[in-house]
Amino acid sequence: MHKMKRSVAVNQIGYPINGQKTAIVTEKSSGFHIAEEGTNKIVYRGNASPPTFDLSSGSIVRKADFSELSKPGTYVVVDDEGNRSTPFVVEERPYVELHNGLLKAFYYLRCGVTLDERYAGKWGHESCHTTLGAVHGEEGLYLDGNGGWHDAGDYGKYVVAGAKAVADLLLAYEMYPKAFSKSIPLPESDQLMPDVLHECKVELDFLFKMQDKRSGGVYHKLTTRHFPGLSVMPEDDLAELVFSPISAAATASYAAIMAFASRIYRSYDPSYADKCLNSAEYAWEWIMEHPEAGDFKNPPDITTGEYGDDCIYDEKYWAAAELYHTTNQEEYHFAFRHYSTKSFSKCELGWADVGGYGTISYLRKGKTEESQSLYTSLQQELIQEAERLLVICEKDGYGISLEENDYIWGSNMVLMNRAMLLLIAREWSPKPEYVNAATQHLHYLLGKNTLYLSYVTGFGTRSVMNPHHRPSVGDHVDAPVPGMVVGGPNRNLNDEIMEQTLKGKPAAASYIDHEDSYAGNEITIYWNSPAVFVVSYFNQ
Ligand code: G3I
Ligand code: 9MR
Ligand code: ZN
Residue 118 lies in a domain: no
What is the CA 100 to chain-centroid distance, rounded? Answer: 14
Judge if the beta carbon of residue 154 lies within 6 A of ligand 2: yes
Q: Minimal CA–CA distance to 12: which of 56, 70, 74? A: 74
Residue in 408, 516, 527 to alter for ligand 1 test, most ligand atoms within 8 A of Cβ: 408
What is the CA 64 to chain-centroid distance, rounded? Answer: 28
- End position of a domain, from candidates 395, 423, 449: 395
Q: Minimal CA–CA distance to 303: which of 221, 359, 211? A: 221
Q: What pLDDT does residue 2 have?
A: 41
Dihedral of the alpha carbons of 332, 336, 338, 341, in degrees to the nearest 10? 180
Q: What pLDDT does residue 216 have?
A: 98
CA atoms within 13 A on the CB side of 79: 27
Residue 454 lies in a domain: no
| Partners of 211 in beta bridges | 218
396-431: pLDDT as tens digits: 999 999 999 999 999 999 999 999 999 999 999 999
- End position of a domain, from candidates 310, 327, 344: 310
Shared domain for 268 and 192, answered yes or no, is: yes
CA atoms within 13 A on the CB side of 348: 15
Shared domain for 167 and 199, answered yes or no, is: yes
Residue 86 lies in a domain: no
Shared domain for 284 and 346, answered yes or no, is: no
CB 438 within 8 A of CB 534: yes
Q: What pLDDT does residue 78 have?
A: 97
pTM to 2 decimal places = 0.98
CB 223 within 8 A of CB 302: yes
Dihedral of the alpha carbons of 118, 120, 123, 127, in degrees to the nearest 10? -90
Shared domain for 306 and 183, answered yes or no, is: yes
d(CA 152, CA 130): 18
Judge if the beta carbon of residue 153 lies within 6 A of ligand 2: yes
- End position of a domain, from candidates 310, 334, 360: 310
d(CA 238, CA 320): 39
Shared domain for 230 and 355, answered yes or no, is: no
Low-confidence ranges of the chain (pLDDT < 70): 1-5
Shared domain for 133 and 209, answered yes or no, is: yes
Judge if the beta carbon of residue 494 lies within 6 A of ligand 1: yes
Shared domain for 387 and 252, answered yes or no, is: no
Residues lining ligand 3 (ion), CB within 5 A?
A: 111, 128-129, 234
Q: What ligand has the least distance to the C-alpha of 409?
A: 1
What's the 357 CA to ligand 1 centre distance in angstroms? 20
What's the 409 CA to ligand 1 centre distance in angstroms? 5
Residue 452 lies in a domain: no
What's the 197 CA to ligand 2 centre distance in angstroms? 31
d(CA 124, CA 109): 11
Annotate 474-492 with b (16+ C-beta within 10 A) or e (fewer).
Answer: bbeeeebbbbbbbbbbbbe
List residues with catalytic annotation. 154, 468, 513, 522
Shared domain for 304 and 321, answered yes or no, is: no
Shared domain for 199 and 217, answered yes or no, is: yes
DSSP class of residue 31 equals E
Beta-carbon contacts of residue 45 (< 8 Å; ≥ 6 apart)? 31, 32, 33, 34
Q: What pLDDT does residue 4 have?
A: 55
Residue 534 lies in a domain: no
Beta-carbon contacts of residue 229 (< 8 Å; ≥ 6 apart)? none
Peptide bond before residue 489 is cis, with ω within 30 degrees of 0: no
3-state secondary structure of 224: strand
Q: What pLDDT does residue 314 have?
A: 98
Report CA torsion sign: 157, 163, 168, 171.
positive
Shared domain for 276 and 365, answered yes or no, is: no
Longest dimension (CA), the chain: 73
Q: What pLDDT does residue 113 have?
A: 98
Q: Please report the atom of ligand 1 found closest to the CA of residue 494.
A: 21
d(CA 455, CA 447): 7
493-528: pLDDT as tens digits: 999 999 999 999 999 999 999 999 999 999 999 999
Residue 157 lies in a domain: yes
Q: What ligand has the least distance to the C-alpha of 497?
A: 2
One-letter identity of residue 134 = A
Residue 502 lies in a domain: no
Shared domain for 182 and 266, answered yes or no, is: yes
Query: Residue 276 maps to which CATH number?
Result: 1.50.10.10
Shared domain for 304 and 326, answered yes or no, is: no
Q: Minimal CA–CA distance to 522: which of 480, 492, 491? A: 480
Judge if the beta carbon of residue 524 lies within 6 A of ligand 1: yes
Angle in degrees, 0-180, between the axes of helices 432-445 and 411-425, rounded to the nearest 10: 160
d(CA 436, CA 441): 9
Q: Nearest residue CA, atom 10 of ligand 1?
A: 408
Q: Nearest residue CA, atom 23 of ligand 1?
A: 409
Q: Minimal CA–CA distance to 114: which of 126, 103, 105? A: 126
DSSP class of residue 449 equals S
Q: Which domain holds residue 368?
A: 316-395
Q: Nearest residue CA, atom 34 of ligand 1?
A: 305
d(CA 168, CA 21): 26
If one counts the domains in the chain, the total is 2
Residue 177 lies in a domain: yes
Residue in 160, 409, 524 to alter for ligand 1 test, most ligand atoms within 8 A of Cβ: 409
CB 514 within 8 A of CB 524: no
Q: What pLDDT does residue 368 have?
A: 85
Q: What pLDDT does residue 3 have?
A: 45
One-letter identity of residue 245 = P
